[in-house]
Amino acid sequence: MKKTILKLSVVSVLTLAAVASVRTQCANSYTEAGTGFTFCPPAGWTSRKDAADIYSTFYAPRQPDGSTPNINIKQEAAKLSLDEYVIATMKNIFKDPEIKQGLLKIAASDVTDFKTTSGISGVRMTYQYEFKGSAVRSLQYIFDRGGTMKFLLTGTFPEANPGFAEVIESAARTVRITN
């Protein structure tokens, strides 16, 4: 009997710690008014929003190699299914002049289904490329809102520091879209 009570106590404490951890991680959730898009940026990351942007960009502290991993959010109007949009994105990423500046090579290595903790289905695309002499990886998460609006959350980090993949993945799992 005492062992059962002890086990239940341990399970209760661990559950409360997990709930508190989730609340702590989301204490500074980011919501952009009027868009219905919310997510929890990684703890310790800072945000900056240029006047022309709808969304803020989030930056990790500068790394010893001088890089600054980041997460940016975009939205696009597109009357395409999510699958059609992903295919179009894969074709267009190679044409984007912003990406092509300093770009030596790019490869899409992985396209998989993705689901947030709130149950929103999307697609995760992984790219590796060499940009201005550095090996870089981007994780792009694409979500559909009503068939007409697509939200993209893209995390970029140095290939040499793969630990950022889990940090960005964790942030993407917190995406919520309302409206």
Q: Which residue has the higher pLDDT, 97 or 68?
A: 68
Q: Give the DSSP per-residue string, the chain.
A: -HHHHHHHHHHHHHHHHHHHHHHHHTTT-EEETTTTEEE-PPTT-EEE--TT-SS-EEEPPPPTTS---EEEEEEEE--S-HHHHHHHHHHHTTT-HHHHTTEEEEEEEEEEEEE-TT--EEEEEEEEEEETTEEEEEEEEEEEETTTEEEEEEEEEETT-THHHHHHHHHHHT-EE--
Q: Which domains does the chain have, with CATH numbers?
A: 29-177 (3.40.1000.10)
Token duo for residue 107: 């490869």
| pLDDT at residue 8, as a whole number | 37
Q: What is the band of 99 on the pLDDT scale with cuts at 50, 70, 90?
A: low
DSSP bridge pairs for 115: 121
CA–CA dist 154, 141 (Å, integer): 6
| pLDDT at residue 166, as a whole number | 94
| pLDDT at residue 107, as a whole number | 67
Q: Give the global pTM.
A: 0.77
Per-residue pLDDT tens for 109-138?
A: 788 999 999 999 999 998 888 777 788 888
Angle 110-167-92 from CA coordinates, rounded to 5°: 35
* Mean pLDDT value across the chain: 79
Per-residue pLDDT tens for 34-56?
A: 888 899 999 999 999 988 888 89
